[in-house]
């Protein structure tokens, strides 16, 4: 048992420390063997240096870690409290509908979305006599490329909440969920119009610009996570297989001038630090002709963090861009001179479709 003030501590073998009271160490601590620390009551304060050559396991209590500049701290937990929660802010009042024949429409959850997404629900209406497939997409933020997608079939005359089971782990704090345009008249997403906390966004493909609607969208997410344990640190934090809140000592600043081509004024900005990972190289490929079949930009694996594809100014027609299923009526539409940036892990994931003569230029970063 430890309950005292110490000048220094030197541990040279495996040991378990049970802390009952307040322990203050003013000198250095050197540990050469694995140590289990059980904080049963009180606190531990160390004002000197700590050198650890073995494993340290802390089973209870709060740990505040301050490091020298440039030090990397890996934080994990042996136990956690499972949480299953449904994320929604529609207040169950969804009396209005939004036409999604020609428009994408979705809901933005700006934070707290890391975890296993087991269920998504959309409130939609199909006024046609035939079954309609509604495709739901998932991205870390508004305007980012979809990372996951799933769909639900709504029968003719279907009206109400319909459930999807995405079944994937979401590793981002923010989540933007949207329903792709159906191309069929009589298809609607329910909304609650003219609220103070509007979270609905919509766009008109092939444009990549999203607009904020004065409503809440009929979209709900069920997410399984663990309870949040704050970890105050100075330096770099690597969080392994665990949902944590990280408090950084200091100032983080960023300058945002454009969002979808429109100047930002008075908007809330959700910044996902994953997008600030610096690139170390840039590459280009020879111009690729858009054949009248789905054509890969390149067959060989070409790892990247993002790729910019631009239709040449001399093109005479439109080019479609997307996955292996891209056709003349499927995928984003690029007119002559148009470009698009896709956050993909490999250039060979991108396909184009055209008239057999038009071409695109390709630039990628890694």
Q: What is the pLDDT of residue 197?
A: 60
In order of 217, 317, 331, the CA distances from 355 in angstroms are 38, 7, 15
Q: What is the pLDDT of residue 272?
A: 44
Q: What share of the chain is helix, strand, coil (3-state, %, to 5)?
A: 0, 50, 50
Q: What is the pLDDT of residue 200?
A: 84
pTM: 0.43
Cβ-based neighbours of 148, under 8 Å, separated by 6 or more: 137, 138, 166, 168
In order of 187, 210, 346, the CA distances from 204 in angstroms are 15, 8, 27
CATH topology for 282-365? Jelly Rolls (2.60.120)
**DSSP at 2:** B
Q: What is the pLDDT of residue 24?
A: 63
CB 202, CB 211: distance < 8 Å? yes
Q: What is the pLDDT of residue 206?
A: 87
Please tell me the distance from the alpha carbon of residue 195 to that of residue 215, in angstroms, as a whole number: 6
Per CATH, the number for 84-224 is 2.60.120
Cβ-based neighbours of 32, under 8 Å, separated by 6 or more: 11, 12, 13, 53, 54
Residue at token pair 């009248």: 292
Q: What is the pLDDT of residue 14?
A: 56
Splitting the chain (366 residues) into consecutive groups of 10 residues, what average pLDDT does each group show? 52 58 62 58 59 58 54 48 59 75 89 82 92 93 90 92 86 88 92 69 89 82 60 48 46 45 44 55 94 96 93 95 94 92 93 96 93
Please tell me the distance from the alpha carbon of residue 295 to that of residue 288, in angstroms, as a whole number: 9
CA atoms within 13 A on the CB side of 107: 26
Q: What is the pLDDT of residue 27?
A: 59
Q: What is the pLDDT of residue 228?
A: 44
Q: What is the pLDDT of residue 254?
A: 45
Domain boundaries, the chain: 1-63, 84-224, 282-365
In order of 90, 298, 328, the CA distances from 193 in angstroms are 10, 45, 35
Dihedral over Cα of 115, 119, 125, 131: its sign:
positive
Q: Pick the closest to residue 203 from 257, 137, 264 (CA basis).
A: 137
Q: What is the pLDDT of residue 77?
A: 45
Please tell me the distance from the alpha carbon of residue 169 to that of residue 87, in angstroms, as a whole number: 15
Q: What is the pLDDT of residue 257?
A: 44
Q: What is the pLDDT of residue 1?
A: 45
Longest alpha-carbon distance in the chain? 82
Q: What is the pLDDT of residue 223?
A: 77
The 10 Å Cβ neighbour count of residue 109 is: 20
Preceding omega of 206 cis (within 30 degrees of 0): yes
Q: What is the pLDDT of residue 354?
A: 96
Task: Give the angle 126-120-77 at the CA atoms, nearest 5°.
Answer: 175
């Amino acid at each position: 048992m430890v309950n005292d003030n110490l000048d220094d501590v030197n541990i040279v073998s495996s040991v378990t420390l049970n802390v009952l009271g307040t322990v203050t160490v003013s000198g250095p601590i050197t540990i050469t063997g694995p140590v289990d620390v059980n904080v049963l009551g009180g606190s531990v304060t160390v004002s000197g240096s700590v050198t650890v050559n073995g494993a340290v396991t802390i089973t209870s209590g709060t740990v505040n870690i301050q490091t020298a500049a440039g030090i990397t701290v890996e934080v994990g937990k042996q136990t956690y409290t499972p949480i299953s929660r449904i994320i929604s802010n529609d207040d169950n009042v969804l009396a209005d509908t939004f036409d999604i024949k020609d428009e994408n429409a979705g809901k933005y959850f700006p934070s707290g979305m890391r975890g296993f997404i087991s269920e998504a629900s959309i409130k939609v209406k199909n006024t046609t006599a035939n079954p309609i497939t509604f495709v739901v997409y998932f991205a870390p933020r508004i305007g980012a490329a979809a990372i996951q997608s799933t769909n639900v079939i709504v029968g003719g005359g279907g009206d109400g909440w319909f459930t999807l089971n995405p079944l994937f782990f979401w590793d981002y704090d923010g989540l933007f969920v949207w329903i792709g345009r159906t191309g069929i008249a009589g298809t609607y997403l329910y909304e609650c119009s003219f609220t103070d906390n509007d979270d609905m966004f919509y766009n008109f493909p092939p444009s990549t610009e999203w607009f904020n609607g004065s409503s809440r969208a009929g979209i709900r997410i069920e997410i399984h996570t663990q309870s949040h344990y704050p970890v105050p640190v100075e330096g770099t934090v690597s969080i392994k297989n665990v949902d944590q809140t990280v408090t950084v000592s200091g100032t983080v600043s960023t300058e945002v001038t454009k969002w979808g081509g429109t100047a930002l004024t008075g908007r809330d900005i959700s910044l996902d630090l994953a997008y600030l990972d610096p690139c170390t190289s840039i590459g280009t490929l020879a111009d690729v002709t858009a054949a009248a079949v789905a054509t890969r930009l390149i067959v060989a694996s070409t790892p990247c963090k993002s790729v910019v594809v631009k239709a040449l100014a001399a093109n005479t027609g439109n080019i479609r861009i997307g996955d292996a299923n891209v056709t003349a009526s499927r995928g984003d539409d690029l007119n002559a001179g148009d470009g698009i940036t896709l956050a993909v892990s490999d250039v060979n994931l991108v396909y184009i479709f055209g008239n057999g003569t038009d071409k695109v230029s390709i630039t990628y970063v890694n």
